[in-house]
Amino acid sequence: MNLYALLAARFPREADAPCLILPGGRRVSYAELESQSARYGALLAEAGLKPGDRVAAQVEKSAEALFLYLGCLRAGGVFLPLNPAYTRGEVAYFLDDAGPRLFVCDPQRMEEAQELAWAARLPLVHDLGSLGEGSLAAAAAQMPDSFDTLARADDDLASIVYTSGTTGRSKGAMLTHRNLAANARVLHQYWGFRPGDVLLHMLPTFHVHGLFVATHCALLNGSPMLFEPKFDAARALRLMQAATVFMGVPTYYVRLLQERGLTREAVSHMRLFISGSAPLLPETFNEFRERTGHTLLERYGMTEGGMFTSNPLEGERRIGTVGFPLPGTEVRVVDAADRPLPAGEIGHIQVRGDNVFDGYWQMPEKTQEEFTPEGFFRTGDMGRFDAEGYLAIIGRNKDLIITGGLNVYPKEIEEAIDALPGVAESAVIGLPHPDFGEAVTAVVVRAKGTGGPDAEAIIAELKGRIAGFKVPKAVHFVDDLPRNAMGKVQKNLLRQRFGA
């Protein structure tokens, strides 16, 4: 079944039932969501989109951006969300690799987008602004408000979401209609969505957490979403008086705790707070419970399969853990030879289930490498189960840094720093940060015989080359990087030294 058909089957029957409640008071009903997504689906079909063709969108969060996503599903396309913070060079790679038929950009980047599309030989470019303005919305308005959703097979692609790798080359995780539908069904039930729920949606919609996890749960439930462009702690507190469910990254909860107005009375209307995309610090967990009377529900997942585990809705939400494997998802902790380990022992986390992606776009060798012969996906994370079956994430066997809920891979930043005049080499690490979870930190060796750049110069140079969330928050200088006998940089020693 087409994922959109699954979602639409659960839409409220009342034509005026609210779906999106936007800042300024605009409301989008479920009937309007149906008709507007039909217009976008019809527009894509008229533009020559065939089932399996890709649609790339580097746009700000808006109702119209959601119409585009759903219209793409209805027309049988493959949606490719891109972070608005990505730079020209990053976007050029994605367009060249994915080869979309349509690229949708912010109006302010239209000229650049047209140049990139020409270079990548893409046939069509439209713009779409945060207020719904732009050529895409104007073209969709001319389309009919009904559209027959195309039938899709379970294994047909619904989305490609790029997730960087430690090799420096970004990988496109291929997510099928089955993958997204399976996770949506399970989370809707496991987190107890019910009539009357209202989701406060402050997450970005360019990655799995905001676009799939949060939005799909609300749509499956036929719930209204308070659809906010970005997170704002003070505004969140006001809106919680009309909401029941909130999903956020740990940074959101840190900032909520900085608000004096965060009290039990302020969140008395809420029934559930969910945290994910980065580790939740114990002090944040404890202080939030003391201030609000609510225990944060921490869960675990990634781009390649949505959610894998979750603390329970009913029962103990154990601090420092990400709960139990979700129904339909097998999770195991294994040694280096893929042999399951007993409770209490640390090993590699592997997962298998209908929600787990089909592989990486145009990278069959990498796909084969990341799956075991039994079909388990190697997550790259290290963890352990306790005696009661709760999973704790201990660390990562890759160098992934999660800052403010966004993934940063050190290799990309290291290559950019090493290319600067006066730099001999660098190592990028993540250090604990009370607000962002982890702070991107660079350790640099200057080239001998040169003064080399200072910290401010390095940061300034990087801001023009990579997305802002990837730019180091601090730069330290050393004479040499610590290495083991094999010549590999010992980043654990750097974390110990500079983490203090």
Number of domains in the chain: 2
Look at residues 74, 72, 69, 61 and name the one whose alpha carbon lies nearest to residue 226. 61
Instruction: Give me 126's structure tokens.
Output: 């439209």
SS3 427: strand
Q: Largest alpha-carbon pair distance within the chain?
A: 74
Indicate the helix (H) or strand (E) that contains 140.
helix 135-140
The band of 415, judged by pLDDT with boundaries at 50, 70 and 90, is confident
473 residue type, one letter: K
SS3 228: coil
CATH number assigned to the domain comprising residue 447: 3.30.300.30
104 residue type, one letter: V
pLDDT at position 487: 56
The band of 15, judged by pLDDT with boundaries at 50, 70 and 90, is confident
The band of 307, judged by pLDDT with boundaries at 50, 70 and 90, is very high
Residue 464: inside a domain:
yes
CATH number assigned to the domain comprising residue 106: 3.40.50.12780
Q: How far is CA 338 from CA 335, 351, 386, in A?
A: 5, 12, 19
pLDDT at position 166: 37
What is the full DSSP assignment across 51-78?
Answer: TT-EEEEE----HHHHHHHHHHHHTT-E
Burial state string for 52-70 with b = 16 or more CB within 10 A and e = fewer than 16: ebbbbbbbbbbbbbbbbbb
pLDDT in tens, 461-475: 999 889 999 999 999
What percent of the chain stands above pLDDT 90? 81
pLDDT at position 402: 86
Q: Give the mean pLDDT of 197-211.
A: 96
The band of 488, judged by pLDDT with boundaries at 50, 70 and 90, is low
Residue 408: inside a domain:
yes
Q: For residues 251 and 279, is the Cβ–Cβ distance under 8 A?
A: no
Asked if residue 57 has pLDDT above 50, the reply is: yes
pLDDT at position 281: 80
Q: How far is CA 152 from CA 34, 42, 145, 404, 499, in A?
A: 18, 17, 21, 35, 50
Residue 429: inside a domain:
yes
Stronger pLDDT, 449 or 234, i.e. the higher one: 234
From 137, 152, 167, the end of a domain falls on 152
What is residue 87's DSSP assignment? -
Residue 141: inside a domain:
yes
Q: Give the mean pLDDT of 215-225.
A: 98
From 126, 152, 178, the end of a domain falls on 152
User: For residue 420, with 0-12 CB atoms within 10 Å meaning exposed, 13-18 middle and 19 or more buried, which class applies?
Assistant: middle
pLDDT in tens, 91-135: 999 999 999 999 999 999 999 999 999 999 999 999 999 999 999
Instruction: Give me 456's structure tokens.
Output: 């401010």
Residue 475: inside a domain:
yes
**Pairing status of strand 474-477 against strand 437-446:** parallel
Chain mean pLDDT for the chain: 93
Residue 445: inside a domain:
yes
pLDDT in tens, 436-447: 889 999 999 998
Residue 277: inside a domain:
no
From 118, 152, 186, the end of a domain falls on 152
Q: Give the mean pLDDT of 6-34.
A: 96
What is the full DSSP assignment across 145-163?
Answer: S---PPP--TTSEEEEEEE
- The whole model's pTM is what? 0.85
- What are the φ and ψ backbone dihedral angles of 225, each rounded to 5 degrees? -120, 125
pLDDT at position 498: 94
Residue 46: inside a domain:
yes
The band of 164, judged by pLDDT with boundaries at 50, 70 and 90, is low
Give the whole-angstrom CA distance, residue 28 versus residue 317: 35
The band of 450, judged by pLDDT with boundaries at 50, 70 and 90, is confident
pLDDT at position 167: 42
- What are the φ and ψ backbone dihedral angles of 37, each rounded to 5 degrees? -65, -30
Domain that holds residue 482: 401-499
pLDDT in tens, 250-274: 889 989 999 999 999 999 999 999 9
What is the full DSSP assignment across 407-418?
Answer: EE-HHHHHHHHH
What is residue 182's DSSP assignment? H
Q: Please report where in the chains the tokens 């909520």 appear, as a residue.
A: 256
Asked if residue 359 has pLDDT above 70, the reply is: yes
Q: Residues 6 or more apart from 374 whose CB is under 8 A from it?
A: 352
Q: Give the mean pLDDT of 326-336.
A: 96
CA 485 to chain centre: 37
Asked if residue 71 has pLDDT above 80, the reply is: yes
Stronger pLDDT, 22 or 394, i.e. the higher one: 22
Asked if residue 352 has pLDDT above 90, the reply is: yes
Q: Residues 6 or more apart from 133 whose CB is under 8 A from it?
A: 107
Asked if residue 363 has pLDDT above 90, the reply is: yes
Dihedral Cα 265, 270, 276, 281, nearest 10 deg: 20
3-7, 34-38, 424-428: segment of lowest average pLDDT: 424-428
